[in-house]
Chains A and B, each alone.
Chain A
């Protein structure tokens, strides 16, 4: 199972084993990692699963679709490496992925 490290805004890091095929968001929610709210449960409807993908990993997380791009452009503190973590599927290639969470999702 690929390891993903989620770094909270205050620097606290959580490394968990994520299930392949689930999303990066689900990796956080299923393992009690704080900082990702995921209010809509992965329906790409709320933008509360916002993460910053470490630049070294951006290319491997794939491209945003139109819906995600529209939602994320309005998220708080959006940066070029912002993604909605419910739209990033966990694959073996993402073993070692690092994402950072914003100060708040609301």
Chain B
């Protein structure tokens, strides 16, 4: 195994997992993990949940303790920004002017929250949620009676809404589309979460077009296109994320809504890999490519890159999956809703224990959204993997044993 240096640009879930996997797969050469945040890699999912609710500590948030990096001889360079990739000389140039040579480079720069080109967007108290620092700012605005405007009814917004509500804040969600989670969930799931949040006292405004934010130095009001003005003490903007592909594009790597990679996480440069939220990747099970924003995706691609670099066989392709926790609701989603011709609901939303199976024209499960039913999630995942047609009636029948159905 080579003694050459690996440089990992980006110290989030993907970068940290790649460093650990390289060592686990036997890489002996130097590994340098570079991150622009001042702290060691940490779990992002708890930022909208346990961290906001005061149930996590800096220690519990860390992906690995500091001693892990020392023991594994992984050099970590924090608060360090990459300025450019010099492919010809195999170097990454840092914003402090220094350069680090790489034998192989792994880009794990992630994505950043989309900004809204609206008046008042830069007022104090208009926040986003990506980093631990963001979460701390958001946390400091949440208290009983404080009014929190959540712009964007996606997972970031809804998880933050649930946490803020549990802490006694007044919360209202402004969603541009006719339903929550419009981009990412089925109508029955949107309806379920709408009802759940409403039952917890969150006010939801659908079809809401935010036209601006106003206040004296600090945001005090959110303005909608229909003239509504909603007073608030803080506003969280969660309207999607943009891949940090700029330095890759500047270096001439193929980018298209993310850095384009193959099933080994390789870019168009044989010595450069890209993993996680920054990538546009193939989905072999769906015959498509897209950018997948999830922790499981970051980890899978980290393992792909590490396997490729260390000469190991590629890991078996994983079904994309995702989870979200809001109040006492555990949502687990496996697969992606491509080519779906019908939905089969197993269980009832009213019981708060149900699953929505997405079937294609051949009656194969393409995707399953499960609420408080891990068995349906796991069985659904097996069905998706097997490309096995199912009997929709049996699937919907709670008396049908899922293990038998998925076998």
- Report A-chain residues with C-beta under 8 Å of the C-beta of B65: 30
Tell me the residues in window 52-70 of chain A with beta carbons closer than 8 Å to chain B beta carbons: 67, 70
- Report B-chain residues with C-beta under 8 Å of the C-beta of A73: 375, 378, 403
Quote the shortest CB–CB distance from B298 to chain A (angstroms): 9
Given A31-B68, A46-B321, A71-B374, output 8 extra A-B contacts at Cβ < 8 Å.
A32-B20, A40-B295, A41-B295, A70-B378, A71-B375, A73-B403, A74-B378, A106-B318
- Report B-chain residues with C-beta under 8 Å of the C-beta of A67: 330, 374
* A41 and B45 within 8 A (CB): yes
CA distance A44 to B330 in the complex (A): 10
* B68 and A45 within 8 A (CB): no
A74 with B403: in contact, given A32-B72, A39-B296 (CB under 8 Å)? yes
A74 with B382: in contact, given A32-B72, A43-B323, A67-B374 (CB under 8 Å)? yes
A67 (CB) vs chain B CBs: closest residue: B374
Which of A34, A45, A71: most chain B Cβ within 10 A? A45
Q: Residues on A close to B: CB < 8 A? A: 29-32, 34, 37, 39-41, 43-47, 67, 70-71, 73-74, 106
Interface residues as binary, B381-396 with A (CB distance below 8 Å gives 1, 0 otherwise): 1100000000000000
Quote the shortest CB–CB distance from B329 to chain A (angstroms): 12
Quote the shortest CB–CB distance from B232 to chain A (angstroms): 30
- Report A-chain residues with C-beta under 8 Å of the C-beta of B352: none
- Report B-chain residues with C-beta under 8 Å of the C-beta of A39: 295-296, 299
A71 (CB) vs chain B CBs: closest residue: B374
Quote the shortest CB–CB distance from A102 to chain B (angstroms): 14
- Report A-chain residues with C-beta under 8 Å of the C-beta of B43: 41
- Report A-chain residues with C-beta under 8 Å of the C-beta of B403: 73-74
- Report A-chain residues with C-beta under 8 Å of the C-beta of B374: 44-45, 67, 70-71
Of the residues A31, A32, A70, contact of B375 by C-beta under 8 Å: A70
CA distance A106 to B313 in the complex (A): 14
Top 9 A-B residue pairs of the complex, sorted by shortest distance between their CB atoms: A74-B378, A70-B374, A45-B323, A70-B375, A71-B374, A41-B43, A34-B24, A30-B65, A39-B299
Quote the shortest CB–CB distance from A26 to chain B (angstroms): 9
Quote the shortest CB–CB distance from A14 to chain B (angstroms): 12
CA distance A70 to B46 in the complex (A): 23
Of the residues A29, A34, A43, A71, contact of B64 by C-beta under 8 Å: A29
Interface residues as binary, B279-309 with A (CB distance below 8 Å gives 1, 0 otherwise): 0000000000000000110010000000000
* B45 and A43 within 8 A (CB): yes
Quote the shortest CB–CB distance from A69 to chain B (angstroms): 9
* A106 and B375 within 8 A (CB): no
B296 (CB) vs chain A CBs: closest residue: A39
Of the residues B299, B316, B318, B378, contact of A47 by C-beta under 8 Å: B378
* B64 and A74 within 8 A (CB): no
CA distance A41 to B63 in the complex (A): 8
Quote the shortest CB–CB distance from B73 to chain A (angstroms): 11
Quote the shortest CB–CB distance from B331 to chain A (angstroms): 9
B233 at the interface (CB under 8 A from A): no
A26 (CB) vs chain B CBs: closest residue: B60
CA distance A37 to B68 in the complex (A): 15
CA distance A12 to B373 in the complex (A): 36
Interface residues as binary, B318-334 with A (CB distance below 8 Å gives 1, 0 otherwise): 10010101000010100
B5 at the interface (CB under 8 A from A): no
- Report B-chain residues with C-beta under 8 Å of the C-beta of A74: 375, 378-379, 381-382, 403, 406
A29 (CB) vs chain B CBs: closest residue: B64
CA distance A55 to B142 in the complex (A): 47
Can you name 21 A-B pairs with beta carbons within 8 Å? A30-B64, A30-B65, A31-B68, A37-B299, A39-B295, A39-B296, A39-B299, A40-B295, A40-B323, A41-B295, A45-B323, A45-B330, A45-B332, A47-B378, A70-B373, A70-B375, A73-B378, A74-B379, A74-B382, A74-B406, A106-B318
